[in-house]
Chains A and B, each alone.
Chain A
Amino acid sequence: MSYMSTLRAFAVSGALMMPGAAWAQQVEINFYYPVAIGGPVTQIVEDLISRFEAENPDVKVNPIYSGTYSETISKALAAFRAGQPPELAVMLSVDMYTLVDEGAVAPIERFVETDEDRAWLEGFMPVFMSNSQTADQTWGVPFQRGTTVFFWNKNMFEEAGLDPDVGPQNWEEVVEFAGKLTKRDASGNATTWGMQVPSSLTSYWLLQGYVAQNEGKLFELSGDQTYFDSPEVVEALEYWVSLAHEHKVMKPGVIEWATNPKDFFEGKAAMITTTSGNLTNVKNNAPFPFGVQILPEHKKRGAPTSGGNIFIFEGVDAEKQEAAFRFTKWLTSAEQSAEWSIKTGYIAPREDAWETAAMKTYVEEFPEALVPREQIPFMVPELSTYENQRVARVIDDAIEASLTATKTPAQALADAQAEAERILRNYRN
């Protein structure tokens, strides 16, 4: 190590240098990533990184597993405030406003220089970009994105006298089919529910699907306005609640995300909605032929996006940000995007990824993988506002109160809107 480079190392990083981190010609960057799905994600990430490093010997990427999404943002923001942020991290796309508000992330446009860079950035599907852009700039790069899809048990359809190859196409059919599919024992207790929609944790996400199908919207893209008490939203929630309380075809109360697919495998639920990330899980574990389709329509089709973006942090030197950008671009370009999608079940957010040879072979073998993509034209961006975690909590609580019948949907949503208003008021000029 020369005298100059030692000096430079001190000048650039000073006290921020991690103990033991070697300073060579290489640029070293830290990459926080959460694991939100089953399977050997850690190995897939490490494998991708080692190939990137082989192509870019001047960059060393340290993959750092950072728990769930919420732990990842806690860790990244704590590190940022302490002056030692990671160079890049995968966090929920909906946390964009929070991150921008903190001044924690850098706009991607700053690094886009060549025509090739521009083509790469423009290659993302617009619906995934709407959760990634604000104030005319891009803050997050779509990486592990998903949506909700609809699964049904074909054997049970046959038993109930339904065509096993056609799922319900609209809200009324869901009720009708679910009525036929719900089975009860002699004492009237359900042994199989016709329909199950998960409602623990981020239940606003499921509500958003119903709202989009009802031609309503939950929030404004500027991130400072919600419409929880609008008639479209109230109707949507009333429909959801009616499945359990009025039509009695869905398990009453809160349905856990984690056990919903299990109930489906065990034959306790004949139809479920869940994330597209479950495709591989269902394919491997359902002991019966299953059908999968996009969500049933009401006034129109509709479903929310979901998942994580890659963010590049401020507070690190430009050279490292540049390396982080190169890695981001590599990881989200057509080939890697297709590979990541095939191995994990996330939707490849770029048109050109679907054109790759690997992807084409994959959808030939497993045509169900095309279903989430079919939904893309109908997708709306996931709820994302300033103080997103608090606002999401407010609407989640309203949904839970409605499903457990402690409040009427209209009352619960009016309360939620008032609370969201109180939180977001400060963010309007």
Chain B
Amino acid sequence: MSTIALPHQERGASFWRLVELVGCYVLGLLWIMPLLYAVWMAIHPPEYEVRFDLFAPLTLDNFIAAWSAAPFARYFFNTFVLISVILVAQFVICTLAAYAFARYEFKGKTVIFMLILLQLMVMPEVLLVENYRTMVRLGLVDTVLAMGLPYMASAFGIFLLRQAFLTVPKELDDAARVEGAGSVGVLLRVYVPLARPVYVAYGLVSVSYHWNNLLWPLVITNSVSTRPLTVGLQVFASPDQGVQWSIISAAALMTSAPLLIAFLLFQRQFVQSFMRAGIK
């Protein structure tokens, strides 16, 4: 390809370029392998799970079986509501908190910020019982809000946005104030637009985390009308009997499809955001 057409004297450079290219393809292939394998298993009858045959009969039965094993349409809706509620709340709460930590001086600022960072060290599972108790007191058991509430004041989000806001030049802040913008105006017109890549990156991390979260939603909810997709997927984990890989693959593809498609569509924006935000 283009590497071959390079001038003679740059052979050394073109060789390394080729190595790099091959390396990229190998790594890319390794990364996509499990996904391809899942697709293979999902569209073939169970007999072909471990036998590779190019002309194996194609089938959609696995998807049909998976879809009818649990009320997935409702679960999709619930998951969608759940991640939307969490994301909006996280953006609002984290933005305001980060703004305060980045630009205001107040008593105990460092201590409070340390306390928030401490939250990063605590696994949410440890708080299962205490969170449950809180939800009982609030009367929120078996609601979408109960699934989202413990995650809304995200320490990670506050930390990330604070760091982003700190990099905003003070001069821009001052200039906006000279133009007559108030605190909220400055936040919305200067800080938020400049931190856009961070929002996109954080949003993606948050959405994919909550899309995949199982234990807390399973524990705090009881009914089909509130439970998310992961609970539906769990029906297929049947440890006593061995796993039906083809149906599991179909179900897993089905439930992760919206995320995958969204990622492919907005790939460029995501990658750029991650580069700018500096998180992986």
Q: Which residues of A contact B (CB under 8 A)?
A: 15-16, 18-19, 30, 35-38, 40, 42, 62, 64-68, 71, 74-75, 77-79, 81-84, 146, 201, 257-262, 266, 274-275, 277-278, 281, 285, 287
Contacts and interface: CB of A to CB of B under 8 A. Distances in A.
A262 B239 contact: no
B223 to A, nearest CB: 8
A111 B76 CA distance: 42
A74 B215 contact: yes
B222 A82 contact: no
Given A38-B238, A262-B242, A281-B241, A78 B218 contact: no
B239 A15 contact: no
Contacts of B214: 67
Contacts of B46: 285
Contact of B242 (A66, A79, A278): A278
Given A19-B141, A146-B240, A201-B239, A67 B129 contact: no
Interface string B139-182: 11111000000000000000000000000000000000000000
Contacts of B140: 19
B242 A260 contact: yes
Contacts of A260: 242
Interface string B116-157: 000000000000110011011101111100000000000000
Interface in B223-267: 223, 231, 234-245
B241 A74 contact: no
9 contacts: A18-B142, A19-B140, A35-B235, A62-B222, A62-B223, A79-B132, A82-B132, A258-B242, A274-B242
B219 interface: yes
Contacts of B26: none
Contacts of A83: 133, 136
A77 to B, nearest CB: 8
Contacts of B215: 71, 74
B69 interface: yes
A275 B129 contact: no
Nearest to B69: A40
A81 B133 contact: yes
Which range holds the interface residue count of chain B? 35 or more
B218 A36 contact: no
A75 B244 CA distance: 26
B50 interface: yes
Contact of A42 (B137, B235, B240): B235
A258 B234 contact: no
B49 interface: yes
A35 B51 CA distance: 29
A275 B231 contact: no
Given A67-B218, A71-B215, A262-B50, A37 B240 contact: yes
Contacts of A146: 240
A68 B240 CA distance: 10
A249 to B, nearest CB: 21
A87 B139 CA distance: 18
Contacts of A35: 234-235, 238
Given A19-B143, A261-B242, A65 B132 contact: no
B129 A84 contact: no
A42 B69 CA distance: 9
Contacts of B218: 66-67, 71, 75
A244 B139 CA distance: 55
B104 to A, nearest CB: 37
The 8 closest A-B pairs by CB, nearest first: A261-B242, A82-B132, A82-B133, A258-B243, A36-B240, A277-B240, A75-B219, A38-B238
B245 to A, nearest CB: 8
A277 B132 CA distance: 34
A38 B241 contact: yes
